[in-house]
Amino acid sequence: MIERKRLEALLKDCPIGQQLILREVTDSTNLDIQRAAQENAVHGTVAVGEQQTAGKGRRGRAWVSPPGENLYFSMLLLPEFDADRASMVTLVMALAVARAVRDAGMDAEIKWPNDVVIRGKKVCGILTELYFKEDGGYYVIIGTGINVNQREFPEEIRTKATSLRNEKQEPICREELLAGVLRWFSTYYDSLTGNGDLSGLRREYESLLVNLNAQVEVLDPKGAWKGVAEGIDDKGELLVRHENGSIEAVYAGEVSVRGIYGYV
Ligand code: BTN
Protein backbone atom coordinates (compact mmCIF):
# COMPACT_ATOMS: atom_id res chain seq x y z
CA MET A 1 0.00 0.00 0.00
CA ILE A 2 1.14 3.55 -0.70
CA GLU A 3 2.33 4.93 2.65
CA ARG A 4 0.46 8.10 3.58
CA LYS A 5 3.08 9.31 6.10
CA ARG A 6 5.92 8.90 3.65
CA LEU A 7 3.99 10.66 0.89
CA GLU A 8 2.96 13.52 3.17
CA ALA A 9 6.57 14.05 4.25
CA LEU A 10 7.72 14.13 0.63
CA LEU A 11 4.98 16.61 -0.26
CA LYS A 12 5.75 19.02 2.56
CA ASP A 13 5.56 22.58 1.13
CA CYS A 14 4.22 21.34 -2.23
CA PRO A 15 1.09 23.35 -3.08
CA ILE A 16 -0.40 20.34 -4.89
CA GLY A 17 -1.38 17.27 -2.87
CA GLN A 18 -1.86 18.85 0.56
CA GLN A 19 -5.28 17.14 0.63
CA LEU A 20 -4.81 13.45 -0.05
CA ILE A 21 -7.50 10.81 -0.51
CA LEU A 22 -5.90 7.34 -0.30
CA ARG A 23 -8.00 4.26 -0.95
CA GLU A 24 -6.99 0.62 -1.07
CA VAL A 25 -9.71 -0.26 -3.58
CA THR A 26 -11.66 2.27 -5.58
CA ASP A 27 -13.72 2.23 -8.75
CA SER A 28 -11.70 5.04 -10.32
CA THR A 29 -9.63 7.83 -8.78
CA ASN A 30 -11.21 10.19 -11.34
CA LEU A 31 -14.56 9.31 -9.75
CA ASP A 32 -13.07 9.85 -6.26
CA ILE A 33 -12.12 13.37 -7.30
CA GLN A 34 -15.48 13.98 -8.97
CA ARG A 35 -17.22 13.03 -5.72
CA ALA A 36 -14.79 15.18 -3.71
CA ALA A 37 -15.40 18.15 -6.03
CA GLN A 38 -19.11 17.86 -5.37
CA GLU A 39 -18.25 18.19 -1.66
CA ASN A 40 -16.26 21.37 -2.39
CA ALA A 41 -12.77 19.86 -2.25
CA VAL A 42 -9.93 22.35 -2.70
CA HIS A 43 -7.73 22.96 -5.75
CA GLY A 44 -4.87 20.47 -5.80
CA THR A 45 -6.67 17.68 -3.95
CA VAL A 46 -5.17 14.35 -5.03
CA ALA A 47 -6.79 10.90 -4.90
CA VAL A 48 -4.62 7.78 -5.04
CA GLY A 49 -5.92 4.24 -5.45
CA GLU A 50 -3.93 1.11 -4.76
CA GLN A 51 -6.29 -0.73 -7.10
CA GLN A 52 -9.08 0.44 -9.44
CA THR A 53 -12.00 -1.78 -10.33
CA ALA A 54 -13.31 0.52 -13.08
CA GLY A 55 -10.23 2.45 -14.20
CA LYS A 56 -11.04 4.68 -17.16
CA GLY A 57 -8.80 5.12 -20.18
CA ARG A 58 -9.11 7.52 -23.09
CA ARG A 59 -11.70 7.00 -25.83
CA GLY A 60 -13.97 4.97 -23.54
CA ARG A 61 -11.40 2.24 -22.99
CA ALA A 62 -10.75 0.60 -19.62
CA TRP A 63 -7.47 1.10 -17.72
CA VAL A 64 -6.61 -2.23 -16.17
CA SER A 65 -5.41 -1.41 -12.64
CA PRO A 66 -3.99 -4.36 -10.66
CA PRO A 67 -3.03 -3.74 -6.99
CA GLY A 68 0.37 -3.35 -5.39
CA GLU A 69 2.53 -2.32 -8.33
CA ASN A 70 1.55 0.82 -10.15
CA LEU A 71 0.38 4.37 -9.58
CA TYR A 72 -3.22 5.44 -10.22
CA PHE A 73 -3.96 8.98 -9.14
CA SER A 74 -6.17 11.94 -10.01
CA MET A 75 -6.00 15.61 -9.22
CA LEU A 76 -8.62 18.32 -8.87
CA LEU A 77 -7.91 21.66 -10.53
CA LEU A 78 -10.02 24.77 -10.13
CA PRO A 79 -8.35 26.84 -12.85
CA GLU A 80 -8.33 30.61 -13.03
CA PHE A 81 -8.31 30.55 -16.83
CA ASP A 82 -11.25 29.92 -19.18
CA ALA A 83 -12.40 26.38 -19.88
CA ASP A 84 -11.33 26.55 -23.55
CA ARG A 85 -7.72 26.55 -22.31
CA ALA A 86 -8.13 23.59 -19.97
CA SER A 87 -6.90 20.94 -22.43
CA MET A 88 -3.39 22.37 -21.99
CA VAL A 89 -3.13 20.93 -18.47
CA THR A 90 -2.90 17.47 -19.93
CA LEU A 91 0.38 18.36 -21.69
CA VAL A 92 1.60 19.89 -18.44
CA MET A 93 0.97 16.59 -16.64
CA ALA A 94 2.77 14.62 -19.36
CA LEU A 95 5.76 16.91 -18.97
CA ALA A 96 5.69 16.53 -15.17
CA VAL A 97 5.59 12.72 -15.41
CA ALA A 98 8.36 12.63 -18.00
CA ARG A 99 10.57 14.87 -15.82
CA ALA A 100 9.95 12.84 -12.66
CA VAL A 101 10.71 9.59 -14.49
CA ARG A 102 13.91 11.13 -15.87
CA ASP A 103 14.86 12.20 -12.33
CA ALA A 104 14.49 8.52 -11.40
CA GLY A 105 17.07 7.68 -14.06
CA MET A 106 15.12 6.65 -17.16
CA ASP A 107 14.94 8.22 -20.63
CA ALA A 108 11.26 9.15 -20.67
CA GLU A 109 9.85 10.97 -23.69
CA ILE A 110 6.41 12.26 -24.61
CA LYS A 111 4.21 11.02 -27.42
CA TRP A 112 1.96 13.94 -28.23
CA PRO A 113 -0.20 14.98 -26.55
CA ASN A 114 0.14 13.11 -23.28
CA ASP A 115 1.49 9.57 -23.36
CA VAL A 116 4.85 9.08 -21.67
CA VAL A 117 7.04 6.49 -23.35
CA ILE A 118 10.40 4.83 -22.79
CA ARG A 119 12.16 3.32 -25.81
CA GLY A 120 8.94 3.78 -27.75
CA LYS A 121 6.76 1.87 -25.25
CA LYS A 122 4.02 3.47 -23.17
CA VAL A 123 4.57 3.76 -19.41
CA CYS A 124 1.91 6.35 -18.58
CA GLY A 125 -1.55 7.38 -19.72
CA ILE A 126 -3.45 10.53 -18.78
CA LEU A 127 -7.20 11.11 -18.88
CA THR A 128 -8.35 14.70 -18.41
CA GLU A 129 -12.02 15.44 -17.80
CA LEU A 130 -13.82 18.76 -17.62
CA TYR A 131 -16.99 19.31 -15.60
CA PHE A 132 -19.21 22.38 -15.62
CA LYS A 133 -20.91 23.42 -12.40
CA GLU A 134 -24.41 24.84 -12.02
CA ASP A 135 -22.96 28.26 -11.13
CA GLY A 136 -21.23 28.43 -14.53
CA GLY A 137 -17.80 27.61 -13.14
CA TYR A 138 -15.90 24.48 -14.04
CA TYR A 139 -13.33 22.09 -12.69
CA VAL A 140 -10.79 19.76 -14.24
CA ILE A 141 -9.85 16.24 -13.21
CA ILE A 142 -6.51 14.92 -14.43
CA GLY A 143 -6.17 11.18 -13.96
CA THR A 144 -2.78 9.58 -14.41
CA GLY A 145 -1.81 5.93 -14.55
CA ILE A 146 1.88 4.99 -14.46
CA ASN A 147 3.16 1.45 -14.96
CA VAL A 148 5.69 1.47 -12.14
CA ASN A 149 6.59 -1.98 -10.82
CA GLN A 150 4.42 -4.22 -13.01
CA ARG A 151 6.53 -6.99 -14.53
CA GLU A 152 4.12 -8.98 -16.65
CA PHE A 153 2.09 -7.56 -19.54
CA PRO A 154 -0.51 -9.35 -21.62
CA GLU A 155 0.88 -10.70 -24.89
CA GLU A 156 -1.16 -8.30 -27.04
CA ILE A 157 0.34 -5.14 -25.51
CA ARG A 158 3.87 -6.38 -24.81
CA THR A 159 5.32 -4.57 -27.81
CA LYS A 160 3.55 -1.31 -26.93
CA ALA A 161 3.67 -1.06 -23.12
CA THR A 162 6.35 -1.36 -20.48
CA SER A 163 6.96 -0.38 -16.86
CA LEU A 164 9.63 1.63 -15.11
CA ARG A 165 10.82 -1.47 -13.30
CA ASN A 166 11.20 -3.43 -16.50
CA GLU A 167 13.15 -0.58 -18.05
CA LYS A 168 15.39 0.19 -15.08
CA GLN A 169 15.71 -3.42 -13.95
CA GLU A 170 15.03 -2.43 -10.36
CA PRO A 171 11.97 -1.60 -8.22
CA ILE A 172 10.91 2.04 -8.08
CA CYS A 173 9.60 3.78 -4.93
CA ARG A 174 6.04 4.83 -5.76
CA GLU A 175 5.80 7.52 -3.08
CA GLU A 176 8.98 9.24 -4.31
CA LEU A 177 7.85 9.06 -7.90
CA LEU A 178 4.39 10.45 -7.13
CA ALA A 179 5.84 13.29 -5.05
CA GLY A 180 8.24 14.09 -7.89
CA VAL A 181 5.40 14.22 -10.39
CA LEU A 182 3.29 16.49 -8.17
CA ARG A 183 6.22 18.84 -7.52
CA TRP A 184 7.01 19.19 -11.22
CA PHE A 185 3.32 19.61 -11.99
CA SER A 186 3.04 22.41 -9.46
CA THR A 187 5.99 24.29 -11.00
CA TYR A 188 4.76 23.83 -14.57
CA TYR A 189 1.17 24.70 -13.67
CA ASP A 190 2.40 28.03 -12.28
CA SER A 191 3.97 28.72 -15.68
CA LEU A 192 0.71 27.81 -17.42
CA THR A 193 -1.39 30.10 -15.23
CA GLY A 194 1.21 32.89 -15.31
CA ASN A 195 1.43 32.95 -19.12
CA GLY A 196 -2.11 31.81 -19.85
CA ASP A 197 -0.66 29.28 -22.29
CA LEU A 198 2.25 26.88 -22.82
CA SER A 199 4.68 29.50 -24.17
CA GLY A 200 6.98 29.09 -21.14
CA LEU A 201 7.00 25.29 -21.42
CA ARG A 202 6.97 24.77 -25.16
CA ARG A 203 10.73 24.38 -25.64
CA GLU A 204 11.03 21.98 -22.74
CA TYR A 205 8.06 19.94 -23.95
CA GLU A 206 9.54 19.78 -27.46
CA SER A 207 12.90 18.68 -26.08
CA LEU A 208 11.16 15.52 -24.81
CA LEU A 209 8.78 15.08 -27.74
CA VAL A 210 9.39 11.69 -29.33
CA ASN A 211 7.49 12.80 -32.44
CA LEU A 212 9.70 15.83 -33.11
CA ASN A 213 10.85 15.88 -36.74
CA ALA A 214 9.31 12.45 -37.21
CA GLN A 215 6.76 11.28 -39.75
CA VAL A 216 3.33 10.96 -38.19
CA GLU A 217 -0.03 9.81 -39.40
CA VAL A 218 -2.79 12.17 -38.30
CA LEU A 219 -5.90 10.13 -37.59
CA ASP A 220 -8.46 12.80 -38.40
CA PRO A 221 -12.07 11.52 -38.42
CA LYS A 222 -12.46 13.38 -41.73
CA GLY A 223 -9.60 11.41 -43.25
CA ALA A 224 -6.12 10.29 -42.17
CA TRP A 225 -3.08 12.06 -43.60
CA LYS A 226 0.68 11.94 -43.18
CA GLY A 227 3.17 14.67 -42.41
CA VAL A 228 6.18 15.63 -40.32
CA ALA A 229 5.69 16.87 -36.73
CA GLU A 230 7.58 20.11 -36.20
CA GLY A 231 6.69 20.88 -32.59
CA ILE A 232 3.77 22.38 -30.70
CA ASP A 233 2.25 25.85 -30.60
CA ASP A 234 1.51 27.84 -27.45
CA LYS A 235 -1.84 26.08 -27.08
CA GLY A 236 -0.31 22.62 -27.25
CA GLU A 237 -1.53 21.83 -30.76
CA LEU A 238 0.84 19.66 -32.79
CA LEU A 239 2.33 21.48 -35.78
CA VAL A 240 2.44 19.06 -38.69
CA ARG A 241 3.97 19.88 -42.08
CA HIS A 242 2.02 18.58 -45.08
CA GLU A 243 3.87 17.22 -48.10
CA ASN A 244 3.05 20.50 -49.92
CA GLY A 245 4.97 22.42 -47.23
CA SER A 246 2.01 23.99 -45.45
CA ILE A 247 1.81 23.60 -41.68
CA GLU A 248 -1.38 22.56 -39.91
CA ALA A 249 -2.01 22.85 -36.17
CA VAL A 250 -3.62 19.62 -35.02
CA TYR A 251 -5.89 19.77 -31.98
CA ALA A 252 -5.74 16.77 -29.63
CA GLY A 253 -9.46 16.69 -28.88
CA GLU A 254 -10.36 15.74 -32.44
CA VAL A 255 -7.52 13.59 -33.66
CA SER A 256 -4.70 11.37 -32.53
CA VAL A 257 -1.41 10.66 -34.22
CA ARG A 258 0.72 7.61 -34.54
CA GLY A 259 4.14 6.99 -35.93
CA ILE A 260 4.07 5.55 -39.40
CA TYR A 261 6.07 2.52 -38.28
CA GLY A 262 4.11 1.73 -35.12
CA TYR A 263 2.87 3.20 -31.88
CA VAL A 264 5.22 6.24 -31.71
C1 BTN B 1 -5.12 6.43 -21.39
O2 BTN B 1 -6.02 5.76 -21.93
O3 BTN B 1 -3.99 6.50 -21.89
C4 BTN B 1 -5.42 7.20 -20.14
C5 BTN B 1 -5.40 6.33 -18.94
C6 BTN B 1 -5.65 7.06 -17.63
C7 BTN B 1 -5.68 6.10 -16.45
C8 BTN B 1 -5.73 6.82 -15.14
S9 BTN B 1 -5.42 5.74 -13.79
C10 BTN B 1 -5.88 6.98 -12.66
C11 BTN B 1 -7.08 7.69 -13.25
N12 BTN B 1 -8.30 7.03 -12.91
C13 BTN B 1 -8.92 6.49 -13.97
O14 BTN B 1 -9.97 5.86 -13.93
N15 BTN B 1 -8.20 6.74 -15.07
C16 BTN B 1 -7.02 7.53 -14.78
Residue 136 pLDDT: 87
Measure 258 CA to ligand 1 centroid, in angstroms: 19
| Reported confidence tier of residue 254, pLDDT bands at 50, 70, 90 | low
Percent of the chain with pLDDT over 70: 96
| Domain limits, the chain | 4-206, 211-259
Ligand 1 pocket test, candidate residues 51, 61, 72, 122, most atoms within 8 A of CB: 72
CATH number of 211-259: 2.30.30.100
Same fold yes or no, 4-206 and 211-259: no
CATH number of 4-206: 3.30.930.10
Give me the mean pLDDT over the 44-65 stretch: 96
Report the nearest-CA residue for atom 9 of ligand 1: 145
Q: The whole model's pTM is what?
A: 0.95
**Which atom number of ligand 1 is nearest to the Cα of residue 59?**
2
Interval 149-187: pLDDT, tens: 999 999 999 999 999 999 999 999 999 999 999 999 999
As for ligand 1, residues whose beta carbon falls within 6 Å of it are 28-30, 52, 55-58, 61, 63, 72-74, 125-127, 143-145
Give me the mean pLDDT over the 100-127 stretch: 97
**Which atom number of ligand 1 is nearest to the Cα of residue 52?**
14
Q: Which amino acid is at 226?
A: K
